[in-house]
Amino acid sequence: MKPNFLLFLFIFSSLLCSCGGGVKNPNVGLTLAPFVGFGRAEYRLDKKEIQAELLRLAHEDVDSMTADYRVRSYYLRDGAFLWLDRLGVDRRADSVASYIKDVDQMGFDRDKFRYAQLREDLRRFHELDFGKGHTINRTAARLEYNLTKAFFRYAIGQRFGFINPRYVLNRLDLVDNDSTKTAYRVLYDVHTDKFDKRFYQQMLDKVRHHSVVPFLKEIQPTGPLYARLKRELNAHPPRSQERMRILCNMERCRWRQNDYPAMHTKYVIVNLPSFHLQAVDGDSVLNMRIGCGSNDTKTPLLTGRIKRMDVNPLWVLPQSIIRKDVLKHVGNADYFQSRNFFVKERKSGRVVEPTHITADMLTSKDYLLAQKGGEGNSLGRIVFRFDNNFSVFLHDTSSKGVFRQQDRDVSHGCIRVEKPYELAVFMLEDKDKRLTEKLAYSMGVQRIEPDLNLPDGEKDTLRTDMLLRSVGIKPQVPLFITYFTIYPDQSGRLRQYPDIYGYDRVISRQLRNYF
């Protein structure tokens, strides 16, 4: 049947139904005249024309974010319409537009999500305002493409972050660069959710099943810091430096991890820019200063489980420190002796005389260079060990003065703690008095080995029964090494901290795709 004939039947039926009961018929005088124009060609949706226009839009789109690649790929492969049907567009389009309207409250430019064009094309559909240059099929194609682009950009960004921290931060510091390969130091080693095929399919399904609004609500960052930063953002002028700092920290809040401090009653969290550590056990909080890696030897961002404390540890020097600081002293026996350094053959256990140490030994896998444990050891009197890919850990230090400095990015990558004994007691599940006394004694005694050169009859004062070597931590204590340049202080007030490794600059450059 022709559309006009069906419309006639509907009107005729309405007239018949309203003739009884003395009720005044509201349809008296109703004619087909206002509907005659709907049959004109300019109001007809043509699938082939729309598909051709979609291909043109995809070929012309040169944006380079993950969402943009996915949109282009979808339409270049003749993906089915997501937002259009035979009646045009429905309220899903208005829902997406309403979310895009609010991206300015996140610090972004609406037009990076095609907002102005979306609103204009939606208006044309609502008002049937089509004409030369803005035909119904060209407008429909623009709506289809731009709705998908805006939806993908927004959903992927809010769920996973608008940048990929593992990709961006792990391509900053060169380790090796020759004609065959370029290697970078890993600086971000936190398990973080990333966009994948499953989420891509989920986005498509949510559109097809008319579940856009619940989905967009579900993917919003839920952490309390994100909400606080968003409120702060809208209290600052659009282009202030402080505003950019807020944007960078909001972005960090979008990086969803599989483990958070809030999931635990007892944990340790280190925020590198604030040079600060908190050891939390329920309502009890131990605060202390820390020292961390320098800009050349950055402390990596990671999570772990502290599993063991080694008291008066032996320090085996890594090759990076040997090559940078030690090799130049080969031939100077006093250098090695004054620092309690020794070289040992790994296979035989033979200790090499300081005068016989060579550069080849120091760089060979068959030998190790170590520093004796005890007073003066660079690791201090205790080290807190956890599994990681970098041979970094928390430890005491023999250089206590570092904690009086304002800038404490001074180490080769490990984290130096201001209150090692207090932190050790914190780690214990059962704070047995005898055990804590042994800890205090072991960390304070001058010698950790019996004196074999005492005169006859003189008693050694070293209490070997009080010495601890290693203490297991059960249950293991979660550790979070983070990087926020705006973060709550001990009182809960948001404070700003220096961008010690320049990560804010890196993040802000990437976020400019949305300004």
pLDDT at 177: 65
User: Is 134 noted as a catalytic residue in this protein?
Assistant: no
Question: Could you check whether the bond before residue 221 is cis, i.e. omega within 30 degrees of 0?
Answer: no
Contact (Cβ atoms closer than 8 angstroms) between residue 104 and residue 116: no
Q: What is the DSSP letter of 326?
A: I
What is the C-alpha radius of gyration for the chain, rounded to an integer number of angstroms? 34
pTM to 2 decimal places: 0.86
Query: Distance (Å, rounded) from C-alpha 209 to C-alpha 205?
Result: 6
pLDDT at 179: 60
Place of tokens 């932190």: 423
pLDDT at 15: 42
What CATH number does the domain located at 259-313+373-446+463-483 have? 2.40.440.10
Contact (Cβ atoms closer than 8 angstroms) between residue 43 and residue 130: yes
pLDDT at 178: 65
pLDDT at 43: 80
pLDDT at 26: 57
Reply yes or no on whether the pLDDT at 383 is more than 50. yes
pLDDT average, residue stretch 303-309 = 98
Residue 240: band (very low, low, confident or very high) from pLDDT cuts 50, 70, 90: confident
Alpha helices in 170-323 (DSSP H): 197-208, 212-218, 224-233, 241-254, 319-321
Percent of the chain with pLDDT over 70: 91
How are beta strands 284-293 and 415-417 bridged, if at all?
antiparallel
Contact (Cβ atoms closer than 8 angstroms) between residue 503 and residue 169: yes
Tell me the three state secondary structure of residue 140.
helix
Contact (Cβ atoms closer than 8 angstroms) between residue 391 and residue 260: no
Reply yes or no on whether the pLDDT at 223 is more than 50. yes
25, 332, 356 from 367: Cα distances, Å: 103, 18, 13
Residues 6+ apart with CB under 8 A from 246: 107, 229, 232, 233, 236, 486
Considering 253, 276, 292, 395, which one is annotated as catalytic?
A: 395
Query: Distance (Å, rounded) from C-alpha 74 to C-alpha 70?
Result: 6
Tell me the three state secondary structure of residue 107.
coil
Query: Distance (Å, rounded) from C-alpha 187 to C-alpha 170?
Result: 6
Reply yes or no on whether the pLDDT at 252 is more than 90. yes
Phi and psi torsions of 36, nearest 5°: -60, -35
pLDDT at 456: 78
Query: Distance (Å, rounded) from C-alpha 143 to C-alpha 80?
Result: 14
Residue 8: band (very low, low, confident or very high) from pLDDT cuts 50, 70, 90: very low
Query: Distance (Å, rounded) from C-alpha 90 to C-alpha 84?
Result: 8
Percent of residues in the chain assigned helix, strand, coil, to nearest 5 = 45, 20, 40
Reply yes or no on whether the pLDDT at 3 is more than 50. no
For the stretch 463-481, pLDDT in tens is 999 999 999 999 999 999 9
Measured between its terminal Cα atoms, the distance across the chain in Å is 52
Closest CA to 439 of 425, 427, 460: 425
Buried b (16+ CB within 10 A) or exposed e, 224-240: ebbebbbebbeeeeeee
Please classify residue 496 by burial: count the beta carbons closer than 10 Å to its beta carbon, then call 0-12 exposed, 13-18 middle and 19+ buried: middle
pLDDT average, residue stretch 200-224 = 96
Phi and psi torsions of 383, nearest 5°: -130, 140
Contact (Cβ atoms closer than 8 angstroms) between residue 343 and residue 352: yes
Reply yes or no on whether the pLDDT at 16 is more than 80. no
pLDDT at 239: 72
Closest CA to 68 of 16, 7, 112: 112
Reply yes or no on whether the pLDDT at 366 is more than 80. yes
The upper half-sphere exposure of residue 482, i.e. CA atoms within 13 Å in the direction of its Cβ, equals 26
For the stretch 126-183, pLDDT in tens is 998 998 788 999 999 999 999 999 999 999 999 999 999 999 999 999 987 666 778 9
Counted residue by residue, the chain has a size of 515
Reply yes or no on whether the pLDDT at 110 is more than 90. yes
112, 190, 210, 476 from 510: Cα distances, Å: 14, 20, 32, 37
Query: Distance (Å, rounded) from C-alpha 51 to C-alpha 39?
Result: 22
Reply yes or no on whether the pLDDT at 190 is more than 80. yes
Stretch among 26-40, 142-156, 367-381, 419-433 having the lowest mean pLDDT: 26-40
For the stretch 19-62, pLDDT in tens is 444 556 555 555 544 444 545 667 889 999 999 999 999 999 99
Instruction: Provide the mean pLDDT of the chain.
Output: 90
How are beta strands 409-411 and 284-293 bridged, if at all?
parallel
Reply yes or no on whether the pLDDT at 281 is more than 50. yes
Contact (Cβ atoms closer than 8 angstroms) between residue 338 and residue 331: no
User: Is 395 noted as a catalytic residue in this protein?
Assistant: yes
Residues 6+ apart with CB under 8 A from 284: none
pLDDT average, residue stretch 365-371 = 95
* Positive or negative torsion for Cα 341, 345, 351, 354: negative
Closest CA to 289 of 277, 300, 281: 277
